[in-house]
Amino acid sequence: MRQKESTPRLLQAMRDAWALPDLRGKLIFTALMLVIFRFVAHIPLPGVDPVAMQNFFESSPLLGMLDLFSGGAMRNFSIAAMGVYPYITSSIVMTLLVPIIPRLREISAEGESGRHKINLYTHWLTVPLAALQGYTQFIVLRSAGTIAVTDPMAITAIVVSMTAGTMFLVWLGELITERGIGNGVSIIIFGGIVANLPQEIGRGLLTQEGGNFLGLIVFVIFFLVLVWLIVVFTEGHRRIPVQYAKAIFRGDKMYRQQGATHVPLRVNTAGMIPLIFAMSLMLFPGTIATYFMAPAGQPANFANTIAQWFNPSASMPIGIFYWALYFLLTVAFAFFYTMVIFEQMNIAKTLQQQGGFIPGVRPGKPTTDYLNRVINRITWGGALFLALVAVSPFIVGQGTGIQALQLSSTAVLIIVGVALDTMKQVEAQLTMRRYEGFLK
């Protein structure tokens, strides 16, 4: 008995999870879907110059970010080159449109059927977005000299193949959600980042910064602290006490009984979306400017200036401008996206419909105002945290001399967030069967 208690909690929970036939089947199914995803990511499209493609991706931070999310499929220019990024864009667009368009707001209020319709609209919107992004990506790569395809039919086939690849990955993600463990689309992104991250670490740290041993030690310590902070802020929430008046009938008489619970308001309600928004907005001007820059040896034009000011690797003091603006944009997007999500939750109305109330606060508009004040205060913590995560590569780069892995903080945020969510789902499965799980 003592030996069993000394077994590490995580290892014991993993053994318990594997011992359950249905849960083991879900884990195996999820792993098989990830294997299929990695096979698809290596099916290439024709007409690519691998050397030119490698050089181009190393010089473009924005494409490097998208390649990270696709698990290296974009760098290989495979049919899964866009990953599930168009679906994420479609989901964000629908999230922003629901509170704006009255008809969509009515549909979202219909419960499960409404969510199903919104999800269907999201899938429909993904197809044109994927086709547009695929064609844009093809044009950008061809203008950079990495693709030699010019035939219209061949271009159409490439764009259709890339769109089909994205929809296939979305379908795999939904299969994982339905029959596996975790959120399927998030698991696909997680699998892509994890598959590509070792190569990024090897290329960035071992080949470029291998002699800077003190810097590497500081970098590892920073990485561990960052993971700890991500866990703290991801799990951090403010508990709002709520009471419910319950009616109990005994014979012909009705008795009211008070039941107490709480509503958790997350410190980081927006997740990693504000950071992705801010990063895309910051990298876009510089990427576009590179196609209008003056050739080498000629006087610099306005595009050269834009490309320099929006370059994350720019030297001081220009680098201060880039990362300060990145910091401010992340904070702004965090508040904006949190307000959009919080308004859609409509907690005050839900509490009133269920007979719940916050002690000391009147139902209706006073409850809405109170919750808005609370979410505004705690969002400052989440927004500043995301902003610090955003600029952490610059801070650690200046402190250690290691300039590699500029996008590692975003990757770590996604990896830890998805891992926590998946562990909670496994924890729930184990708890239902009276097993001790991963989390206390």
Residue 292 maps to which CATH number? 1.10.3370.10
Q: Are 181 and 215 in a shared domain?
A: no
Residue 433 lies in a domain: no
Q: Which residue has the tokens 């370059």?
A: 311
Low-confidence ranges of the chain (pLDDT < 70): 1-14, 58-66, 68-72, 197, 199-213, 215-216, 245-260, 287, 290-291, 295-297, 313-315, 399-408, 433-440
Q: Are 145 and 203 in a shared domain?
A: yes
What's the total number of domains in the chain? 2
Domain boundary among 155, 182, 208: 208
Q: Are 41 and 17 in a shared domain?
A: yes
Q: Are 153 and 249 in a shared domain?
A: no
Q: Are 146 and 254 in a shared domain?
A: no
Kindly report whether the peptide bond that precedes residue 359 is cis, defined as omega within 30 degrees of 0.
no
Residue 430 lies in a domain: no
Q: Are 81 and 160 in a shared domain?
A: yes
Tell me, yes or no, if the pTM score tops 0.85. Answer: no
Q: Are 34 and 139 in a shared domain?
A: yes
Give whole-number Cα distances, 305 to 60, 298, 308, 309, 315, in Å: 16, 14, 5, 6, 13
Give the separation between CA 405 and CA 58, rounded to whole angstroms: 11
Domain boundary among 208, 226, 255: 208
CB neighbourhood size of 314 (10 A): 17
Residue 283 lies in a domain: yes
Question: If we measure between CA atoms, which residue out of 421, 430, 424 comes closest to residue 19?
Answer: 430
Q: Are 191 and 273 in a shared domain?
A: no
Give the separation between CA 424 and CA 325, rounded to whole angstroms: 35
Q: Are 137 and 256 in a shared domain?
A: no
Q: What is the pLDDT of residue 38?
A: 87
Q: What is the pLDDT of residue 171?
A: 93
Q: What is the pLDDT of residue 424?
A: 78
Half-sphere exposure of residue 387: CA atoms within 13 angstroms, side-chain side: 20
Q: Are 399 and 257 in a shared domain?
A: yes
Alpha helices, H only, 59-183? 61-69, 85-97, 102-108, 112-143, 152-179
Q: What is the pLDDT of residue 403?
A: 57
Domain boundary among 192, 208, 224: 208
Residue 421 lies in a domain: no
Residue range(s) defining the domain that contains residue 220: 211-403
Residue 58 lies in a domain: yes
Q: Are 198 and 261 in a shared domain?
A: no
H/E stretch holding 322 reads: helix 318-345
Q: What is the pLDDT of residue 7?
A: 46
Q: What is the pLDDT of residue 255?
A: 46
Q: What is the pLDDT of residue 167?
A: 92
Q: Are 240 and 269 in a shared domain?
A: yes
